[in-house]
Amino acid sequence: MKVLVPALALAAACTALPASAQSTDSAPPASTPAPSAAAPAKAATPSGEGGTWRLMASPYTIHYSHDPNHRPVWMVGFERERRDGLLWGACYFSNSFGQPSGMVYGGQRLYDFSPYPQLYAQWTAGVMYGYKGEYKDKVPFNYGGFSPGVVLALGWQFTPRYSVQANILGNSAMMFQFSVDLP
């Protein structure tokens, strides 16, 4: 089975946050929703540097097709998200063939595109290392174990600190991830 095939195109649409001018001497209208306890992590970010550090782990990945060479896949990593949703990070993982692998990446977390404020989308792109030897052709553009990688994801922010995410790994697999935002 193929592993982590980079996507050729990525499109995401976000709706603008509604903004309305209110005078300082009037109370907000009754239809204004109260802030949710499960608002996106970026909204709960403290002042100062204006970002969030995130630890993440994936205990399970499901492959779209069976290959007798597949091994269990796991991942650990960290990310730094700015207030505007741009992020960078790195992860260490065991690839589908049991080889130690890693990826450094940049991307963006997208909020406010659905009626559910807890729902977010994320895209990342970067350089992956680890598909070597007989598995070097399992990812495109592999040169000496280095290849490009793109991951598309949908997630749910349960609380300002905890979230789960489903990562689409090309046409090969889906990785389930747990994340915790550090205070």
* Choice between 43 and 75, residue whose per-residue pLDDT is larger: 75
Tell me if 2 is assigned to some domain.
no
Tell me if 17 is assigned to some domain.
no
pLDDT-derived band at 50, boundaries 50, 70, 90: confident
Residue 137 half-sphere exposure toward CB, CA atoms < 13 A: 1
CA angle (159 as vertex; 179, 14 as ends), nearest 5:
80
Eight-state DSSP code of residue 183: -
**CB neighbour class for 78 (10 Å; exposed up to 12, middle 13-18, buried from 19):** middle
pLDDT tens-digit readout, 121-169: 999 999 999 999 999 999 999 999 999 999 999 999 999 999 999 999 9
Tell me if 16 is assigned to some domain.
no
Element (H, E) at 45: none
For residue 108, give every residue at least 6 positions away whose Cβ sits within 8 Å of its Cβ, in sequence order, or none.
Answer: 12, 85, 86, 87, 122, 123
Q: Which residue has the tokens 């195109």?
A: 9
Tell me if 9 is assigned to some domain.
no
> In the predicted model, is pLDDT for residue 92 greater than 70?
yes
Q: Tell me, what CATH number does 120's domain have?
A: 2.40.160
> In the predicted model, is pLDDT for residue 95 greater than 50?
yes
Tell me if 33 is assigned to some domain.
no
The dihedral of CA 11, 106, 93, 182: what is its sign? negative
Number of domains in the chain: 1
For residue 100, give every residue at least 6 positions away whose Cβ sits within 8 Å of its Cβ, in sequence order, or none.
Answer: 92, 94, 130
Tell me if 27 is assigned to some domain.
no
> Average pLDDT of 31-58?
59
Residues of the chain with pLDDT > 90, as a percent, come to 71
Q: In the chain, at which residue ranges do the beta strands (DSSP E only) sit?
A: 51-63, 74-82, 86-94, 100-110, 119-129, 146-157, 162-169, 173-181
Q: Give the whole-angstrom CA distance, residue 153 versus residue 6.
A: 13
Range of the domain at 127: 41-45+54-61+69-181
Tell me if 89 is assigned to some domain.
yes
> In the predicted model, is pLDDT for residue 41 greater than 80?
no
Q: Where is average pLDDT lowest: 19-23, 56-60, 112-116?
A: 19-23
Tell me if 137 is assigned to some domain.
yes
> Which pLDDT score is estimated for 112?
93
> In the predicted model, is pLDDT for residue 111 greater than 50?
yes
* Choice between 13 and 77, residue whose per-residue pLDDT is larger: 77
